A and B are shown apart, each in its own frame.
Chain A
Amino acid sequence: DGGITQSPKYLFRKEGQNVTLSCEQNLNHDAMYWYRQDPGQGLRLIYYSQIVNDFQKGDIAEGYSVSREKKESFPLTVTSAQKNPTAFYLCASSQDSRNTEAFFGQGTRLTVV
Protein backbone atom coordinates (compact mmCIF):
# COMPACT_ATOMS: atom_id res chain seq x y z
CA ASP A 1 0.00 0.00 0.00
CA GLY A 2 1.73 3.17 -1.19
CA GLY A 3 1.84 6.33 0.83
CA ILE A 4 3.49 8.43 3.47
CA THR A 5 3.76 7.16 7.01
CA GLN A 6 4.44 9.36 10.01
CA SER A 7 5.11 7.99 13.46
CA PRO A 8 4.23 8.25 16.20
CA LYS A 9 0.76 9.76 15.92
CA TYR A 10 1.06 11.34 19.39
CA LEU A 11 4.29 12.24 21.17
CA PHE A 12 4.96 13.75 24.56
CA ARG A 13 8.22 15.48 25.33
CA LYS A 14 9.65 16.71 28.57
CA GLU A 15 11.30 20.10 28.78
CA GLY A 16 14.90 19.94 27.55
CA GLN A 17 14.56 16.69 25.62
CA ASN A 18 15.26 16.10 21.95
CA VAL A 19 12.69 14.02 20.09
CA THR A 20 12.71 12.60 16.57
CA LEU A 21 9.65 12.33 14.36
CA SER A 22 9.67 9.71 11.65
CA CYS A 23 8.51 10.17 8.04
CA GLU A 24 8.75 7.36 5.49
CA GLN A 25 7.41 7.23 1.92
CA ASN A 26 7.28 4.41 -0.62
CA LEU A 27 6.15 6.56 -3.54
CA ASN A 28 9.67 6.95 -4.96
CA HIS A 29 9.32 10.72 -4.55
CA ASP A 30 12.42 12.92 -4.71
CA ALA A 31 11.12 15.84 -2.64
CA MET A 32 10.07 15.74 1.01
CA TYR A 33 8.88 18.46 3.37
CA TRP A 34 8.24 19.12 7.05
CA TYR A 35 5.60 21.61 8.19
CA ARG A 36 4.40 22.82 11.53
CA GLN A 37 0.77 23.76 12.17
CA ASP A 38 -0.42 25.60 15.27
CA PRO A 39 -4.13 25.75 16.23
CA GLY A 40 -6.12 27.85 13.77
CA GLN A 41 -3.01 28.55 11.70
CA GLY A 42 -1.74 27.57 8.28
CA LEU A 43 1.27 25.41 7.51
CA ARG A 44 4.75 26.81 8.10
CA LEU A 45 7.69 25.18 6.35
CA ILE A 46 10.46 23.89 8.63
CA TYR A 47 12.80 22.04 6.25
CA TYR A 48 12.57 20.55 2.81
CA SER A 49 14.66 18.23 0.71
CA GLN A 50 14.67 18.20 -3.08
CA ILE A 51 16.88 15.16 -3.40
CA VAL A 52 18.59 12.57 -1.21
CA ASN A 53 21.60 13.84 0.78
CA ASP A 54 20.46 17.45 0.39
CA PHE A 55 18.06 19.66 2.34
CA GLN A 56 17.27 23.36 2.82
CA LYS A 57 15.95 25.44 5.67
CA GLY A 58 12.39 26.62 5.44
CA ASP A 59 10.86 29.61 7.17
CA ILE A 60 11.08 28.38 10.77
CA ALA A 61 14.12 26.05 10.93
CA GLU A 62 15.54 27.26 14.25
CA GLY A 63 15.42 24.54 16.89
CA TYR A 64 14.94 21.74 14.35
CA SER A 65 17.26 19.43 12.43
CA VAL A 66 16.76 16.90 9.63
CA SER A 67 18.65 14.32 7.61
CA ARG A 68 18.01 12.76 4.20
CA GLU A 69 20.32 9.75 4.01
CA LYS A 70 17.77 7.61 2.17
CA LYS A 71 15.28 8.62 -0.51
CA GLU A 72 12.35 7.19 1.40
CA SER A 73 13.13 8.68 4.82
CA PHE A 74 13.20 12.26 6.14
CA PRO A 75 13.26 12.31 9.97
CA LEU A 76 12.79 15.54 11.91
CA THR A 77 14.46 16.16 15.27
CA VAL A 78 12.91 18.72 17.57
CA THR A 79 15.75 19.91 19.76
CA SER A 80 15.71 21.49 23.21
CA ALA A 81 16.51 24.79 21.47
CA GLN A 82 12.95 24.90 20.13
CA LYS A 83 11.23 26.90 22.86
CA ASN A 84 7.62 26.26 21.88
CA PRO A 85 7.48 22.83 20.21
CA THR A 86 3.88 21.92 20.99
CA ALA A 87 2.21 21.69 17.57
CA PHE A 88 0.92 19.40 14.83
CA TYR A 89 3.79 18.28 12.57
CA LEU A 90 3.10 17.28 8.98
CA CYS A 91 5.37 15.52 6.53
CA ALA A 92 4.72 15.60 2.78
CA SER A 93 6.36 14.32 -0.37
CA SER A 94 6.17 15.07 -4.09
CA GLN A 95 7.69 13.62 -7.24
CA ASP A 96 9.87 16.71 -7.54
CA SER A 97 10.00 20.09 -5.85
CA ARG A 98 9.04 22.27 -8.77
CA ASN A 99 5.75 21.32 -10.33
CA THR A 100 4.25 18.20 -8.91
CA GLU A 101 1.56 17.60 -6.35
CA ALA A 102 2.49 16.94 -2.73
CA PHE A 103 0.81 14.39 -0.50
CA PHE A 104 0.74 14.35 3.28
CA GLY A 105 1.17 11.80 6.02
CA GLN A 106 -1.34 11.63 8.86
CA GLY A 107 0.71 13.94 11.10
CA THR A 108 2.32 13.77 14.54
CA ARG A 109 0.87 15.74 17.40
CA LEU A 110 3.71 16.77 19.77
CA THR A 111 3.00 18.01 23.27
CA VAL A 112 5.51 19.30 25.81
CA VAL A 113 4.73 18.14 29.34
Chain B
Amino acid sequence: QKEVEQNSGPLSVPEGAIASLNCTYSDRGSQSFFWYRQYSGKSPELIMSIYSNGDKEDGRFTAQLNKASQYVSLLIRDSQPSDSATYLCAFVFTGGGNKLTFGTGTQLKVEL
Protein backbone atom coordinates (compact mmCIF):
# COMPACT_ATOMS: atom_id res chain seq x y z
CA GLN B 1 0.00 0.00 0.00
CA LYS B 2 1.26 3.44 -0.91
CA GLU B 3 1.82 5.73 2.04
CA VAL B 4 -0.49 8.39 0.62
CA GLU B 5 -2.88 8.26 -2.30
CA GLN B 6 -4.52 11.02 -4.29
CA ASN B 7 -6.57 10.99 -7.46
CA SER B 8 -4.29 12.59 -10.07
CA GLY B 9 -7.17 14.21 -11.95
CA PRO B 10 -7.52 16.50 -13.70
CA LEU B 11 -10.54 17.63 -11.73
CA SER B 12 -12.53 20.22 -13.66
CA VAL B 13 -15.06 22.47 -11.94
CA PRO B 14 -16.89 25.57 -13.19
CA GLU B 15 -16.07 28.96 -11.73
CA GLY B 16 -17.99 29.55 -8.50
CA ALA B 17 -18.46 25.85 -7.74
CA ILE B 18 -17.06 23.84 -4.83
CA ALA B 19 -13.95 21.79 -5.59
CA SER B 20 -13.42 18.69 -3.45
CA LEU B 21 -9.97 17.11 -3.23
CA ASN B 22 -9.32 13.88 -1.36
CA CYS B 23 -6.39 12.01 0.10
CA THR B 24 -5.94 8.75 2.02
CA TYR B 25 -2.90 7.84 4.07
CA SER B 26 -1.50 4.64 5.54
CA ASP B 27 0.10 5.62 8.86
CA ARG B 28 -2.32 5.44 11.82
CA GLY B 29 0.29 7.15 13.99
CA SER B 30 0.31 10.34 11.95
CA GLN B 31 -0.83 13.49 13.76
CA SER B 32 -0.08 16.23 11.23
CA PHE B 33 -1.63 16.77 7.81
CA PHE B 34 -1.08 19.49 5.26
CA TRP B 35 -2.38 20.74 1.93
CA TYR B 36 -0.07 22.50 -0.49
CA ARG B 37 -0.82 24.27 -3.76
CA GLN B 38 1.69 24.17 -6.60
CA TYR B 39 1.46 26.25 -9.75
CA SER B 40 3.22 24.92 -12.83
CA GLY B 41 6.98 25.46 -12.62
CA LYS B 42 6.83 26.83 -9.07
CA SER B 43 7.50 25.41 -5.63
CA PRO B 44 4.64 24.23 -3.37
CA GLU B 45 3.07 26.71 -0.99
CA LEU B 46 1.29 25.71 2.21
CA ILE B 47 -2.42 26.54 2.26
CA MET B 48 -3.82 24.48 5.16
CA SER B 49 -2.66 22.40 8.09
CA ILE B 50 -4.91 20.21 10.25
CA TYR B 51 -4.11 18.16 13.33
CA SER B 52 -7.48 17.18 14.87
CA ASN B 53 -10.49 15.29 13.60
CA GLY B 54 -13.16 17.49 12.07
CA ASP B 55 -13.17 20.59 9.93
CA LYS B 56 -10.85 23.57 9.81
CA GLU B 57 -11.85 26.61 7.81
CA ASP B 58 -9.67 29.40 6.43
CA GLY B 59 -11.39 31.76 4.03
CA ARG B 60 -12.61 29.79 1.02
CA PHE B 61 -10.69 26.69 2.10
CA THR B 62 -11.91 23.95 4.46
CA ALA B 63 -9.77 20.98 5.44
CA GLN B 64 -11.47 17.88 6.82
CA LEU B 65 -9.72 15.13 8.76
CA ASN B 66 -11.03 11.69 9.70
CA LYS B 67 -8.31 9.73 11.46
CA ALA B 68 -10.45 6.61 11.90
CA SER B 69 -10.89 6.38 8.13
CA GLN B 70 -7.36 7.71 7.44
CA TYR B 71 -8.81 10.31 5.15
CA VAL B 72 -8.18 14.02 4.66
CA SER B 73 -9.91 16.32 2.22
CA LEU B 74 -9.80 19.91 1.02
CA LEU B 75 -12.85 21.87 -0.08
CA ILE B 76 -12.47 25.06 -2.08
CA ARG B 77 -15.61 27.17 -2.15
CA ASP B 78 -16.41 29.72 -4.85
CA SER B 79 -13.62 28.32 -7.05
CA GLN B 80 -11.75 30.89 -9.12
CA PRO B 81 -9.60 30.42 -12.24
CA SER B 82 -6.62 31.42 -10.08
CA ASP B 83 -7.23 28.25 -8.04
CA SER B 84 -6.19 26.18 -11.06
CA ALA B 85 -3.09 24.35 -9.84
CA THR B 86 -1.93 21.01 -8.50
CA TYR B 87 -2.89 20.31 -4.89
CA LEU B 88 -0.61 18.10 -2.84
CA CYS B 89 -1.56 16.48 0.43
CA ALA B 90 1.20 15.67 2.90
CA PHE B 91 1.57 14.09 6.30
CA VAL B 92 4.31 13.21 8.74
CA PHE B 93 4.96 9.50 8.37
CA THR B 94 5.99 8.35 11.85
CA GLY B 95 6.87 4.80 10.85
CA GLY B 96 10.22 5.83 9.48
CA GLY B 97 11.47 8.65 11.68
CA ASN B 98 9.08 11.52 11.00
CA LYS B 99 9.29 11.75 7.23
CA LEU B 100 7.21 14.52 5.64
CA THR B 101 5.56 12.50 2.88
CA PHE B 102 3.65 13.84 -0.12
CA GLY B 103 1.00 12.47 -2.40
CA THR B 104 1.36 12.71 -6.16
CA GLY B 105 -1.07 15.62 -6.32
CA THR B 106 -4.44 16.35 -7.91
CA GLN B 107 -4.58 18.78 -10.81
CA LEU B 108 -7.51 21.19 -10.48
CA LYS B 109 -8.86 23.17 -13.41
CA VAL B 110 -11.42 25.90 -12.78
CA GLU B 111 -13.22 26.73 -15.99
CA LEU B 112 -14.85 30.04 -16.89
Interface residues of A, Cβ cutoff 8 Å to B: 31, 33, 35, 41-45, 48, 50, 56, 58-59, 90, 92, 94, 97-107
- Residue of A with least CB distance to B101: A45
Given the known interface contacts A42-B104, A99-B32, A99-B51, the answer about A107 and B43 at a Cβ–Cβ threshold of 8 Å is yes
Q: Which of B31, B34, B103, B104 contacts A101 (CB 8 A)?
A: B34
Please report the number of residue pairs spanning A and B whose Cβ atoms sit closer than 8 angstroms. Answer: 60
B24 to chain A, nearest CB (A): 14
* Cα-based distance from A42 to B99 in the complex (angstroms): 15
Given the known interface contacts A98-B92, A101-B34, A102-B34, the answer about A45 and B100 at a Cβ–Cβ threshold of 8 Å is yes
Other than the given A48-B99, A56-B97, A99-B92, 11 more pairs (CB < 8 A) read: A31-B98, A35-B102, A42-B88, A42-B102, A45-B99, A50-B97, A59-B99, A94-B100, A97-B100, A98-B32, A103-B46
